[in-house]
Every structure is written in structure tokens, then in C-alpha cells.
Amino acid sequence: MPFEKPDVDKWARTKALEVNCFDGLAIGDAFRGHVLEDEEVAELGRKALEKRPVNAEVFSEGRFPGPPFGFHWSLHLTAQSIASAFVSLPVIFIGQPLPSPSDEEIAVSRKLAERIGSFKTLLVRGELIAVGTAAATGLEAPIGRGQWSRPDLLLDVENSAVCEMRDHRPVAVWTGVWLQVPEEPVVIPQPSVGESEAAKPTKARKQIQTKDKSRRQCVDWLFAMMSDPTIEPMTNEQLWNEAIPKWPESLSKREFTRCRARALDRLSEEQRYLWERPGPRRRQS
């Protein structure tokens, strides 16, 4: 049977449409659309609710199944943990048998875990950038891609906030979180088109490589400066003015702001506080 060359252009267009539909959406709305309103999830959910109608708000409102966190969803949920949540009880009595999830609940849990995983992947790979207001500083900035790999983070679907667990309860660390598509396209592995053809250098590929290199250099430059306690913290605008002559053609201001957010993520808590909101330092008494 002859080798059929995959339609790479069609694949790329489909992928772009999938991502672009999230541009400008609040992260809670995007999560509901991608996960809970997925056609397969909705159909499997209807079958599961026939067995246990008490979980209706999971699919209609975005409430996490079972107690205790309301609308808070982890992006690291497994099919098993979701299925267990569907039958969890607020109070367990000694000697009372634990309920088992139905086949329908197990099926929808598998699909939910799959859709949640793909949503997290879009954030981890930078195909979607989440922008939120940091609760600690009150400043709006992109959320670093590495944050989405933290198992202690929860997504508050109702309020479009990102929370972390503190003393066994979720506390918002970023609020008003919304999504945007990167200004420069992220390089995504595509279906194989033959090694010899894929290896050919192109002008577009070289431009992407140059910009990727500039972003890495910018993050390293910012981190080295911000981690030096002898350097007075500067505003984003001041830093941008210094960065322009270093990368005049390969770094946009939008990308620079993201580099600054990545550098801040790597700082100690004390240094991050100083650079997130630069200003006159308190005099030591």
C-alpha cells in the first residue's frame, strides 16, 4: 500500500482553530467549554445522571463532584479520582460500605480526565497563555508555564481564579484569569512528512529559532539582574527600555512581559516581591 502523505496544513489549521477559540476567554469559561461541554462528556454525563441525578450541577454549572471544594478542579485528576468523587460522601460511618461508581460514572470520568489533561497540556506547552492578577501584589501578569505542573494548584471554575492548597483549603493566588493566544506561534510536533523533507531549513523555521533564543536569553538576563540584591528593582517599562537595544528585531514588548513573568517565577519570595512591585524600599529601623 503506498504511503499517504498526511495533510499537515489541514492538521495545523484544525489545531489553530481549537486554540484560537479560547483567545480572550476567562479561564473558567474556557475550562467549561473544553471539558464539561465536550460532546462526548455531555453525552456520557447524561447517562451517568440517570443513575445518580444528585451530580447534575457538575455538568450544568461546573461544580466538582462531591465534597468539599465546590467549583475547584485540579488539572492533575485521574479517571479513578474523578469516579471516586462522584460517589464521595460528606460523612462516612464506621461499618457502612463505601458506594461504588456506576459503569456510566466510570466512563464519563475517563473522558473528563482526558479532556482535563489536554487543557493542561495547552497551558504547559504555552499554546495558551493565562494572564491573571497576582493576589500578593495586585499586578496583572502572565502566569508562568511551569506553574501548571504543580499538583497543589486548583482551578476555580466559578470565579476564574487559580488557587493553591493552604492548611487543607484552596486560597486564590491569581484572580481574574483569562487566556490569550501567543503572539508568536508555538512550535508543535506535527505528523511525520518524511525525515528528508522535515529536515530542510526554512526561513520561517530560522525566524522561530532566533526568537526562541532571544526569549531564553532575555529570561536569563532578567533573572541574573533580579536575583542580584545590589541592583535596585525597576518597573517593567524601565526593563523594556534596556531590553530593546539587546533584541531589537527578535523580541516584542508582549513577549518581553512574558519573559519577565518567567524570570519572576524563578526568584526567591523576597526578591520576587521587590521586583513585582518596584518602588522606594522601607528604611530599616
Other CB atoms within a 10 A radius of the CB of residue 49 amount to 18
Return mean pLDDT, the chain. 81
Specify the higher pLDDT residue, 25 or 15. 25
Q: 92 pLDDT exceeds 70?
A: no
Q: Tell me what pLDDT residue 114 has.
A: 95
Contacts of 126 (CB under 8 A, 6+ apart): 145, 182, 186
Q: 268 pLDDT exceeds 90?
A: no
Q: Tell me what pLDDT residue 45 has.
A: 95
What 3-state DSSP class applies to 205? helix
Other CB atoms within a 10 A radius of the CB of residue 11 amount to 13
The answer to whether 202 and 158 have CB atoms below 8 angstroms apart is: no
In angstroms, the CA 118 to CA 100 distance is: 27
Query: Angle CA(205)–CA(207)–CA(213) in degrees, nearest 5?
Result: 105
Taken in order 186, 192, 195, 196, the sign of the CA dihedral is negative
In angstroms, the CA 161 to CA 167 distance is: 18
Mean pLDDT, rounded, for 227-240: 88
Cα dist. 270→53, 222, 230, 236 in Å?
A: 49, 16, 14, 18
Q: What are phi and psi of 69, to 5 degrees?
A: -105, 15
Q: Tell me what pLDDT residue 106 has.
A: 95
What are 51-64's pLDDT values in tens digits? 888 889 999 889 99
In angstroms, the CA 124 to CA 93 distance is: 41
pTM for the model stands at 0.60
In angstroms, the CA 85 to CA 64 distance is: 8
In angstroms, the CA 70 to CA 156 distance is: 9
Specify the higher pLDDT residue, 188 or 163. 163
Going by C-alpha positions, the residue among 249, 164, 178, 259 that lies closest to residue 220 is 259
Among the ranges given (8-22, 55-69, 269-283), the one the predictor scored with the smallest mean pLDDT: 8-22
Mean pLDDT, rounded, for 227-244: 89
